Amino acid sequence: MDNALYYLSIREASQLLRRREISSVELTRAVLERVRQVEPAIQAYNAVTEEVALEQARRADQRLASEDAGPLTGIPMQIKDNMCTKGIATTCSSRMLESFVPVYDATVTRRLSDAGAVLVGKGNMDEFAMGSSTENSALRKTHNPWDTTRVPGGSSGGPAAAVAAGECLFALGSDTGGSIRQPAALCGIVGLKPTYGLVSRFGLVAFASSLDQIGPMTRTVEDCALVLNAIAGHDPLDSTSIPHQVPDYTSALRADLRGVRLGVPREYFGEGIDPQVEATIQQAIARMEELGATIVRDVSLPHTRHALAVYYIIAPSECSANLARYDGVKYGYSHAEAGSMWEAMEKTRQHGFGPEVKRRIMLGTYALSAGYYDAYYLKAQKVRTIITREFQDAFQRVDTLVTPTSPTVAFRLGEKTEDPVQMYMSDICTIPVNIAGLPGIAVPCGFLDGLPVGMQIIGKHLGEETLLRVAYAYQQSTDWHQQHPPLV
């Protein structure tokens, strides 16, 4: 049985733990052994916290013995390396923060710790979450478990690959323009980007503050709901946190879709989308119609085509402001050999940041500069409002929207690194959701030549219950989530 422990769902593992058929220490050791086995090929972790994990597992077993345990008690997890973990390095996969050890936990880290989850380690990512392939990490390149010559997606490529490869039972990622959903799709797992403000961002190292959101990456939709139960809810430490009464998201899960109206927005199908990916999504839509959903095909979101341009003005602008704090003075990397303070700051950023981060800082600084602010940043914010209103209008007619998650399956390592615009196009289906602050989930819906395809389901503001219900019903009628990569 040990061989299969690392591929258990949270629900399955929790039931075994509660029945005392396995211990958290056993489960954690099985996951750690799996990490040792496949990590040389996958490179999903920046740090493996074995001693911390085993100590937390021992404490979890004590909780399980006293029956003071929830569904996440004793469950091994990975946390993306841009969320603060007290006493454990949080690098954002950047030379700038390579030796940064936080003195406090992010709110999500603390909530999962309180729930009894076991931290196996920190997940690799694109540097400061800027990228779509995890090739921008300054520390290592993560490989897709389904084909190690291909990318896992990004920026949460480490968490996605780790869950798919059995190196943890669930992970937390962050999503600024698709960074949970796109890698989840490319690695064949479930990834949820919640409504902006539903999950606290306190302790998340900021990229673009009006777009960033933390969410779960799991094997099943039910597991996603279980993790969301633990991390959602108001946090006074986060000024953008919504004072929302969090329901039990698992109570909304049902196996049929009777009475649900699913919209198919025409702008997400056609040009730029691999025809085979589109055909796979259409097959999934047909399956949901069989489950009782009403399919509405005349939905239009015409300003969606501007979302990519809007994102690449707003996100770099916010990043240029957020990353100004890395000056070599207070914390992080500092270039010592300089003749003046200004030269030291310049050298610190020159050597501390990678090329993609520098590119986005320059884009943002330009868009915010005198004479260009109105032409770029202000105009982008106005179009953002139009995109948000179009979604609101669409949700007057439908309960959720269904689209591809990524226009293609996982591409080869190095295939797009020399063409930033092609790389940016990887997030064309996911970015509008962040622009509007809506929830979106990626669910496995098939394979093309052995590589996973993910369907994206988009919900209305704070519509996670309906979103999870639709995703769960579809997943219960398929077995795509039960497939595992061909790893040794």
User: Tens digit of pLDDT for each residue in 123-174?
Assistant: 999 999 999 999 999 999 999 999 999 999 999 999 999 999 999 999 999 9
**With pLDDT > 70 as the criterion, what percentage of the chain qualifies?**
99
Which of 292-301, 347-356, 442-451 shows the lowest mean pLDDT across its residues? 347-356
237: left (phi over 0), alpha (psi -120 to 50) or beta: alpha
CA dist 83 and 103 (Å) reads 12
Choosing from 155, 317, 334, 406, the catalytic residue is 155
Is residue 2 over pLDDT 70? no
Choosing from 23, 80, 133, 317, the catalytic residue is 80
Choosing from 9, 179, 334, 426, the catalytic residue is 179
Q: pLDDT per residue over 52-79, tens digit each?
A: 999 999 999 999 998 779 999 999 999 9
What average pLDDT does the structure give for the chain?
Answer: 95
List the domain boundaries for the chain: 2-260+398-482
Give the pLDDT confidence score for residue 486 in this predicted structure. 92
Catalytic residue flag (residue 416): no
Q: pLDDT per residue over 75-121, tens digit each?
A: 999 999 999 999 999 999 999 999 999 999 999 999 999 999 999 99
**With pLDDT > 90 as the criterion, what percentage of the chain qualifies?**
90
CA atoms within 13 A on the CB side of 132: 30
Fold for 2-260+398-482, please state it. Amidase signature (AS) enzymes (3.90.1300)
Q: pLDDT per residue over 353-391, tens digit each?
A: 999 999 999 999 999 998 899 999 999 999 999 999 999
Catalytic residue flag (residue 358): no
Catalytic residue flag (residue 347): no
Give the pLDDT confidence score for residue 3 in this predicted structure. 54
